[in-house]
Amino acid sequence: MADIPGPSTLVLQDENCNKENLDTNFEPERKKMKTEYNQKEKEKENKLEDRLSGILCCAVCLDLPRTCFQCTNGHLMCAGCYNHLLADGRLKDETATCPNCRCEINKNLCTRNLAVEKAVSELPSVCQFCNCQLPRNQVDHHQRELCLERSTCCKYSRIGCPWQGPFHELAGHEQSCIHPNKPADDIMDALSLVDKQREEELRVYSNLYNLLSYEKVTFNDLQLKPYRTDDFITKLYYETSRFSAFNHQWVIKARINNDKPTQSVSRSMSYQLVLKGKITNPIQVKFIALKGPYGDMKVNPAINMFEFSPENVETEYFDLPIVNSLECNKVLASKTINVRVIMVHLQ
């Protein structure tokens, strides 16, 4: 006959079976191990730097900003997107607004957020050559000076060597490079191409120095202010106030080159010189537009020439030599454009 458990044995079994109900912190061993494993996986997926990147990113392009602006409600924008929003508002003749809260943004209301800029500079980033992780404020120096995988050219590139490769292979290539042993005629041909490129770069500056030696030279610091046409669909243009040069009155006008600039990322500007008043004899003028005082417009200077006559007092539109579309957005985002115009009267 089987043993019948006593009352004390039944109570002990009942306590073991109902331990989950008696102790709220009790968990089976297998379930506890699974919970710890899931927690570790979540920690890997949700690293602090990843969460901070999602918080500190630009509200428009979702990239981490090097230069960070914020609206009055604290929403963040990188410098490129901030200038693009202000430029769009200028082109559409509308008030620029924050993409998150739709509050007004302009040069007076928005401020730099230096704390975010410093925090972003300490977040990790990846070298584009060797994929190692570094703080963002060290990546540029690493890619330019320290990375062994960075792309570099042979030191004999000036005499025609086309080799490009990682830095750690440079020494081995230069030892076996065949270009130093080429005939002198081949080396001279390669050097002549380099000299032509150099001469082209210096041509504009040498022409500018020559212009400054003319007898009648003048310069004016001007402000291009925005205006609207009277068309049904108004267009933005810029114009300066009248200024004097060579005993005549002049005006500079500027416009956006693209017919639909609000629908295009690529933007550029052009300008013309207008003679105000009547003349009896032709006037031949060379002129050049540069960055004005207190302005931050980056330009590649170009010299233009035009002959004014009684019948023709306006030049054609010449490209305002802004270096790229990002700089053009920065210019459009400003209330005024500061330029310095140098004019030379050719006799």
Last residue of a domain, one of 110, 143, 176: 143
Q: Are residues 222 and 326 in the same domain?
A: yes
Cβ atoms of 79 and 65 within 8 Å: the answer is yes
Give the CB-side neighbour count of residue 300, counting CA atoms within 13 A: 9
Residue 20 lies in a domain: no
Q: What is the domain count for the chain?
A: 3
Q: Are residues 77 and 106 in the same domain?
A: yes
Q: Are residues 249 and 311 in the same domain?
A: yes
Closest CA to 79 of 66, 88, 97: 66
Residue 32 lies in a domain: no
Q: Are residues 78 and 201 in the same domain?
A: no
Residues ≥6 apart with Cβ < 8 Å to 321: 289, 299, 300, 301, 302
C-alpha radius of gyration, the chain, whole number: 34
Q: Are residues 195 and 249 in the same domain?
A: no
pLDDT value of residue 25: 54
Q: Are residues 229 and 325 in the same domain?
A: yes
Q: Are residues 98 and 219 in the same domain?
A: no
Q: Which domain holds residue 76?
A: 50-143
pLDDT < 50: residue spans in the chain: 1-3, 8-20, 31-32, 37
Q: Are residues 126 and 179 in the same domain?
A: no
pLDDT value of residue 202: 83
Report residue 248: phi and psi, to 5°.
-135, 165
Closest CA to 248 of 283, 288, 276: 276
Burial grade of 152 (CB within 10 A; 0-12, 13-18, 19 or more): middle
Residue 15 lies in a domain: no
Residue 90 lies in a domain: yes
pLDDT value of residue 11: 42
Per-residue model confidence as pLDDT tens digits over 279-311: 888 999 999 998 888 877 888 888 899 999 999
Q: Are residues 229 and 327 in the same domain?
A: yes
pLDDT value of residue 141: 93
DSSP one-letter code for 63: S
Residue 107 lies in a domain: yes
